[in-house]
Amino acid sequence: MYQRSVAIVGAAHSQLGEVPGSTAIGLMADASVAAVADAGLTPASIDGVIVRGPDDEYCFQQQVGERLGLNAAFSTSLGNGGASQALAVVLASLAIEAGLATTVLCGYARNSWSRTRRSGSRKARMNQSTHNRTREWRDSFGYFGEPATHALGAQRHMAMYGTTKEQLGHVAVSVREHATRNPHAQMQSPLTMEEYLDGPLVAEPFGIYDCSLRTDGAGAVVVTETARAKDLPHPPVVVRGFGSHNNLRGWTIDDHMVQTAARASGERAYRIADVSPSDIDTAQLYDCFTYMVLAQLEDYGFCEKGEGGELVASGALGLDGAIPTNTSGGQLSEGHVEGMLQVVEAVRQLRHEYPAERQVPDARLALVSGHGGNTVCHTTLILEGG
């Protein structure tokens, strides 16, 4: 049984957005150095490395160790897509409690903006990256890109529960409002509902404002025993609980599109953390697309299944709302670093680092989610401030 003896003591991200010529490992090094400095630690104290880089880079943790001069008692690269980054914190916590490591660097880096520029057209990328099974059962029917996958879920949800395009728009507009107060965000100008509804369509019901950004960037956190944190500069953010669930049979199977893996992952996390949805002060959710925020709010029990549209339309995601969500602007407006920035933002909110205009008042418990791997893998963290 997890003893809740582990905390996040350092958190940072690299430059975000369009970083011409950047490499994933370079961004990873920037974020890692900053996170260790934020923790008030030295490289010698790091004995664990759990990271993920671009999916076509083999054993990314070796690049990190080589670049930063680290050997590690415990180390791996993860393959759960966007669920990996929160999962890194889970594995670090388990490794530390088991005595396999004492202080673990967790991180993720991508250079998707620069990479796209380098490799040329979308077609080139499409042909490079396509797996045979995907090619056979998806590409043949003109089914390309992640927007369509999540649009299939949104469309089903709309048909089952009457969810509307405008309700999806409230997610985009709310997180953009958060981003206007974040000087690191890629999108800092406000988004009106009218602009959202007029946005060019991509894969219905999604338009461009339903889709997350293309980002060069990295994030990293340092995880260690809470007992070690008393000599460190920041109050520890305790890893109070966590969960995961993986609908490995696929997105189109059963009711996975409308009741996502977040449901079972969240139930485990609430049980291990011994808290309930009403205890959560802020949610930092994996927002690859607007619909995924709405679905997760339901799956995490912030409202009943089918009521997510009404919840987001009520202003719930705002700083003074029922569940302030993605308070940095998220992947829709801050930058898409596959869930890593959600962890960083939760730490900063729980430390009460921000000026009042950006701070969730009285934030003590944060829920963080990671979702990915063809939208079937899910991880939940419940973090607790001092």
Number of residues that bind other proteins (CB under 8 A): 38
Contacts of 68 by beta carbon, 8 Å cutoff, 6+ apart: 29, 32, 33, 43
User: What is the Cα–Cα distance from 343 to 328, expressed in whole angstroms?
Assistant: 11
Residue pair 293/154 in contact (Cβ under 8 Å)? The answer is no
Say whether residue 153 binds other proteins (CB under 8 A): yes
151 is an interface residue for other proteins by CB under 8 A: yes
Q: Name residues contacting other proteins, limited to 216-275 (CB under 8 A).
A: 249, 252-253, 257
Query: What is the token pair recorded at 150?
Result: 């999540």
In our burial notation (b when 16+ CB lie closer than 10 A, e otherwise), range 335-362 reads bbbbbbbbbbbbbbbbbbebeeebbbee
Maximum pairwise Cα distance, the chain: 58
Q: Please state the closest distance from residue 170 (CB atom) to other proteins, in A.
A: 21
- Please identify which residue in 67, 115, 117, 156 interacts with other proteins, judged by CB under 8 A: 156
Which is nearest to 288 in space by CA: 219, 377, 189? 377
Distance CA 119, CA 129 (A): 11
Residue 309: phi and psi, rounded to 5, are -60, -45
How does DSSP assign 51-65, residue by residue? Answer: EE--TTSTTHHHHHH
Binding mask 87-126 for other proteins (x = CB under 8 A): ----------------------------------xxx--x
Binding piece for other proteins, criterion CB under 8 A, among 129-137, 179-187, 260-268, 301-309: 129-137
Q: Quick check: 131 binds other proteins (CB under 8 A)?
A: no
Length of the chain: 386
Binding region for other proteins (CB under 8 A) out of 51-59, 149-157, 277-285, 358-366:
149-157
Question: Is position 214 an interface residue for other proteins (rule: CB under 8 A)?
Answer: no
Position among 79, 137, 190, 227 found at the interface with other proteins (CB under 8 A): 137
CB of 121 to other proteins, least distance (A): 8
Interacting residue ranges for other proteins, rule: CB under 8 A: 121-123, 126, 130, 132-133, 135-145, 147-148, 151-153, 155-156, 158-159, 200-206, 249, 252-253, 257
